Amino acid sequence: MSESKGLKEWSLPVISVVLGIGIIYGLYHTFSESAPSTVAIAPAPAGTASIAMDAGTKLNNQPAPAFQLHNQLHQTVGPSQWQGKVVLLTFVNPDDTTATPLLLNEMSHAVKLLNPSARSQVVLAAVTANPTQQANQVLMHYQTSHQLQGNWEMLSGPDQTLKTVWRKYGVATSIRTGEVEESPVVYVLNEKGQETRKYTVAPDYVTGQSQTDEFAESLVQLLPSASLKSSVAVTPPTAGPPPSKLPVYENGRPMGELAYQSGKPQIDVFLASWATGLGAEMRTLEKLHQNDPTLPIRLIDVLPVESSLKHVATWDAKKLPAKWPLFVDTKGEVSEAYAVNSVPTVAIIDEEGDVAWSRNSFTPYKTLQKAIRTQLG
């Protein structure tokens, strides 16, 4: 009898916990699958569902673990050399062509949001997570090939030294065969070389919300003279890019080159064919097209991290309605002219070929519809 009573006493709370976890899990997947996504890219040519956004964990201002590694200029650097500056420090795999460039571009763009005098007080540091990629020229090529701007330190060193650094910063267990297999981390160090905050970026970062603003806010808090401009705002009218020819695709098939003309009213939607989670954006465009089939919509692939067009040709044709051409901005010229720093970005081009309105994030249907009516009549 007492045994049965004990079973009832502990089984009810256990069942409640299990049911609660099940409900949370179901809600999580329901909302994560339906939420629109934005991918950050570096502007020119190259850089958001809340699942991957991390507001950061506040740390207790302990001195950052010391180390000495070589940067891409063969200089020996570490936290002691960065005293007097604020540092964003992360760990990357130079062979990665998707999530890693996006993360580094977010860090780079966060610095660009600061006023010029504050930018010089920031160091961006990336320690290699691949022991086989230690050559300084490889890291320098990685920096230039992804157009990383700012005070970057691409760091490498001997195997054992790297393993010691990984262990000190708590990332050794997440690094397997040269890849960061778990959630990548970003540490924020203040001017005294102390750890102030730690960001953990979700593994599905390529479909997650931009961390740019979070990184920028953490920098502003540590730099008294720093000011911050918004990364999502209406862009004042600026001159559009000169007409040029760009590769164009229809239903995933290359159709040669077409002239990309900016001198007429257009709705340009910048996206990334290498990313996932475009469903919400495409549904918004489909709804606009249904209400007004004459709207001049163009899709522009920003292509910031891939060196070939193979992924465009193999992209699921169902994601791209044939009625809208997909231009591939291979050199980033169009993205640069429109100050694109994340995808999707929507830009409304007026009759003179100027950017009359733009938004660097997912744009809800009603917001976009109102902007189109205001700018294009």
Q: Is 334 exposed, middle or buried (0-12, 13-18, 19+ CB in 10 A)?
A: buried
Dist CA 100 CA 91 (whole Å): 9
- Domain parsing of the chain, residue ranges: 50-222, 238-376
How high is the pLDDT of residue 271? 79
All residue ranges of the chain with pLDDT < 70 are 1-54, 96-98, 131-150, 172-183, 202-210, 228-244, 249-256, 258-264, 273-280, 303-323, 339, 341-342, 352-353, 360-362, 377
pLDDT at 230: 46
DSSP for residue 122: E
**Domains 50-222 and 238-376 equal at CATH topology level:** yes
Whole-angstrom Cα distance, residue 111 to residue 359? 20
Instruction: Give the tens place of pLDDT for each residue, 160-196.
Output: 899 899 999 988 655 555 455 545 789 999 999 999 9
Fold of 50-222: Glutaredoxin (3.40.30)
Residue 254: the pLDDT is 66
CATH topology of domain 238-376: Glutaredoxin (3.40.30)
pLDDT of residue 31: 29
CA distance 377 to 368: 13
Residue with tokens 């996932």: 276
Laid out side by side, the sheet with 185-189 consists of 57-58, 195-200, 185-189, 86-92, 122-128, 152-155
CB-side exposure of 229: number of CA atoms within 13 Å?
12
Query: What is the C-alpha to C-alpha distance for residues 359 and 345, in angstroms, rounded to an integer?
Result: 6
| Separation CA 156–CA 165 (nearest Å) | 10
pLDDT value at residue 11: 43
Place of tokens 């606009």: 288
Rounded to whole angstroms, the Cα distance separating 59 from 333 reads: 41
Instruction: Note whether 336 and 45 are within 8 A (CB).
Output: yes
pLDDT at residue 105, rounded to an integer: 75
CB contact at 8 A, 104 and 92: yes
Cis peptide before 224, with omega less than 30 degrees from 0?
no
The partner residues of 197 in beta bridges, in order of sequence, read 58, 188
